Amino acid sequence: MKPSPQKKYSLEDALQYIKGVGPKRAFVLDKLGIKSIEDCLFFLPFRYEDRTLVKKIADLVPGERVTFTGEIVVADTQRIGRRKKILEIQIEDETGTIPAKWFRFRELYMVEKYPIGARVIVSGKPEISRYQGKRLEVTHPDMEVISLKENETPEIGKLIPVYHSTEGLHLKTLRGILSRVVETHANLLQEILPDEIIRRHQFPSRSEALKQVHLPTNDLPVKDLDHFRTPAQKRLIFEEFFLIQVGLAFKKKLVPKTKGPGRAMKTRGPLIGKFIKLLKFELTQAQKRILGEIMDDLEQDKPMNRLIQGDVGSGKTVVALICLLTAVENKTQCALMVPTEILAEQHFLNIKPHCEALGVSIELVTSALPAKEKKRIQQNIQEGNVDIVIGTHALIQKGIEFKNLGLAVIDEQHRFGVLQREAIGKKGGHPHILVMTATPIPRSLALTLYGEMDVSFLDEFPPGRQPIATRIFYEPKRDQAYALLRAEAEQGRQAFVVCPLIEESETLDLKTAIEVQEYLQNQLFPDLKIQLIHGKMKKEERQQIMTDFLAKKIDVLVATTVIEVGIDVPNATLMIIEHAERFGLSQLHQLRGRVGRGQHASQCLLIAYSSVSEDGKARLEAIQKSNDGFVIAEEDLKIRGPGDFMGTRQSGMPILRVANLIRDIKILESARKEAFSLLDRDPGLKDPQHQNLRQAMQSYLGDKLNLMNII
């Protein structure tokens, strides 16, 4: 009898024809994002269970994760209250019994799955019962009926990978499917890392790494597996970061060539000298250092592409204005693009007096401009009669054409999508681009998202900036917060009160800005001048309110988050944030930065209401502990994850399947160094041995980094 030919496998094999899958399970796997063989291979465990430690029931101790076997002797559901039920299954071996309990379960499914008399393997962490004296119980354990089916072995005596699963797909079934795919298809994966990198870092091959992660051997410490410290896991983490960094390096090296030459500028001219004499303060060393870096860029004949990160109040606006004036001195136009109308208005009002003193023309462009005014400004810009244009996203819309755009400054860049940032650059051929943010981005995220840019850190505050004392008040103590506002007002100081919404919402029980303003004016502080400001007001009305607030004609400004960025009122020493639990951590830090800009000590009072989530508490405690924007950004990244931190749709952030931006920062830095070094040697990835890497980069990144237009 001839031996049957061995089945040939391919990475293109249809998932539903894999043993144990079929059409129905293929549909369920799709919910987990598993659509292909490659998705299976890279659907990685998030933790591991050590089932090498098998104990008898009598030897179980509280808090120790173990595996034991036994027979189901009782299975019963009990009602708790009117709606809730609890399922209790008693498991017995020759040494004793222990109850396993479920608080979330489908009764019919569980009764059929775990019949009385069945032999089971149980893995979990026994704890002392809160209701039955000192008796041990195990809650929501992983439990497997020992089957007598042919070719099936119980999951015991080994390390077991644990995956995220979904309803309709038992974890053991998912493990079986993934295990079969790894055994049959992992060797088909092509290596993408260059040989010298594999040797230098002593990495296992790509296929071997995946086998070790899905099918770990018993000699691997579970602690290392759970903390992603095994050689196989480190290799996969490195690979993920390396693909991103190669993409960034590729873009950085090729984009200037595809954009065409930039305009080399003369820097440090007499106009800048005149402006600095107009300032009533000395530039900080950090400002001088960053200006030096920018001027070096502007002197080159390739377009500048630089990101400035500076905490709230670190003096980015002055740096930006010096750059804008440098472009004006070189007989070119320049643009400052910001995300909100109120911020555009603030910049315009702050910069206009300096421009008038220096004989520089300036215009403000927003979507709220009357048609006649808009047409006049558009014509002046097109004819080159305007030196500096400040505006919102209206700057990139049709109708705005620059005669000679030499520099574009983009403020609060995280509010703009990648395409919006690139659109302003296309308005002037090949202008220099300077991007600024007061939302400190963790170093790891900056390396991942903006690796193709040169990054400067404005890490010094102007003299006199004091740390802002931050305190949390839960609703019952709300009056204490407002008593502190009264104390500040009696000393001639001013305050902000920030609310999440303008008008009452039917879905959210929030204090509204209108309600709060009326309550403060009519009941708490009838002797003070309390004014409301929000984004739906007309531009002229908002500008008048801000002028009055600066002139101390208003004691308390009740605002929505329109005041998050750009407003500078030195006499404002107190900020109260209503419903602080509803705000993001970076947003709270931005809001807090509106006070503490004068010579007096400042405070930020966070008022939180009932039912604060765990994440909400973590945010409030983090903002209370630190005034350092970069520390806060790291905490924010831990709480929210990279996609939410930057805004998933706008960030261009590739999905990280195994790497973690906080945990794996050292691997990220190593991958970045290797990627940029490789692109120095082979800028176009044209070497035949780099073709697999090039294809993998295209496949993994797609258009996430706008690479496809240059490859």
> What are the boundaries of each domain within the chain?
53-157, 315-437, 469-626
What crossing angle do the helices spanning 231-259 and 206-214 adopt, rounded to 10°? 130
Give the architecture (CATH level 2) of 53-157: Beta Barrel (2.40)
Q: What's the confidence (pLDDT) of residue 105?
A: 81
Task: Inform me whether the pLDDT recorded for 207 exceeds 50.
Answer: yes
Beta carbons of 697 and 250 less than 8 angstroms apart:
yes
Q: What's the confidence (pLDDT) of residue 12?
A: 85
Q: Which residue has the tokens 């170093």?
A: 443
Q: Of 430, 432, 405, which Cα lies nearest the Cα of 260?
A: 430
Task: Inform me whether the pLDDT recorded for 488 exceeds 80.
Answer: yes
C-alpha–C-alpha distance, residues 105 and 111, integer Å: 10
pLDDT tens-digit readout, 413-434: 555 555 565 677 667 668 898 9
Q: Which residue has the tokens 């749709």?
A: 649
Q: What's the confidence (pLDDT) of residue 649?
A: 37
Return the C-alpha torsion angle 18, 19, 24, 30, nearest 10. Answer: -40
pLDDT bucket at 553, cuts 50 / 70 / 90: very high
Q: Which residue has the tokens 């160094």?
A: 673
Beta carbons of 309 and 441 less than 8 angstroms apart:
yes
Task: Inform me whether the pLDDT recorded for 260 exceeds 70.
Answer: no
pLDDT tens-digit readout, 683-711: 888 999 999 999 998 888 876 655 433 33
pLDDT bucket at 505, cuts 50 / 70 / 90: low
Task: Inform me whether the pLDDT recorded for 660 exceeds 50.
Answer: yes
Q: What's the confidence (pLDDT) of residue 708?
A: 33
Mean pLDDT of 220-248: 91
Mean pLDDT of 489-495: 95
Beta carbons of 698 and 192 less than 8 angstroms apart:
no
Q: What's the confidence (pLDDT) of residue 646?
A: 45
CB atoms within 10 A of CB 12: 9
pLDDT bucket at 362, cuts 50 / 70 / 90: very high
Higher pLDDT, residue 702 or 137: 137
Mean pLDDT of 477-483: 93
Fold equal for 53-157 and 315-437: no
Task: Inform me whether the pLDDT recorded for 563 exceeds 90.
Answer: no
C-alpha–C-alpha distance, residues 365 and 399, integer Å: 11
Mean pLDDT of 658-685: 89
3-state secondary structure 460-475: CCCCCCCCCEEEEEEH
Q: Which residue has the tokens 């500096």?
A: 388
Q: What's the confidence (pLDDT) of residue 205?
A: 96
Q: What's the confidence (pLDDT) of residue 662?
A: 76
Determine which helix (DSSP H) or strand (DSSP E) holds 208, and give its type and residue range: helix 206-214
Task: Inform me whether the pLDDT recorded for 332 exceeds 90.
Answer: yes
Mean pLDDT of 77-95: 84
DSSP code at position 8? P
Task: Inform me whether the pLDDT recorded for 643 exceeds 60.
Answer: no
Q: What's the confidence (pLDDT) of residue 150?
A: 46
Higher pLDDT, residue 108 or 126: 126
Task: Inform me whether the pLDDT recorded for 245 exceeds 80.
Answer: yes
Q: What's the confidence (pLDDT) of residue 651?
A: 45
Share of the chain above pLDDT 70, in %: 85
Residue 283 in tokens: 């530039």
CA distances from 176 to 18, 153, 291, 510, 658 (A): 11, 11, 59, 49, 21
The set of long-range contacts for 112-118, using a CB threshold of 8 Å and a minimum separation of 24, is 113/145, 114/72, 114/75, 114/89, 114/143, 114/145, 115/72, 115/75, 116/72, 116/73, 116/74, 116/75, 117/71, 117/72, 118/71, 118/72, 118/145, 118/146
Higher pLDDT, residue 22 or 84: 22
Task: Inform me whether the pLDDT recorded for 650 exceeds 60.
Answer: no
Arithmetic mean of pLDDT over the chain: 84
Mean pLDDT of 169-193: 91
Task: Inform me whether the pLDDT recorded for 96 exceeds 90.
Answer: yes
Higher pLDDT, residue 371 or 497: 497
Class of domain 469-626: alpha beta
For 357, residues 6+ apart whose C-beta sits below 8 A from its C-beta are: 278
Q: What is the CATH number of domain 315-437?
A: 3.40.50.300
C-alpha–C-alpha distance, residues 250 and 711, integer Å: 9
Q: What's the confidence (pLDDT) of residue 638?
A: 72
Q: Of 272, 277, 275, which Cα lies nearest the Cα of 292?
A: 272
User: Worst-scoring range by mean pLDDT, 225-229, 308-312, 528-532?
Assistant: 308-312
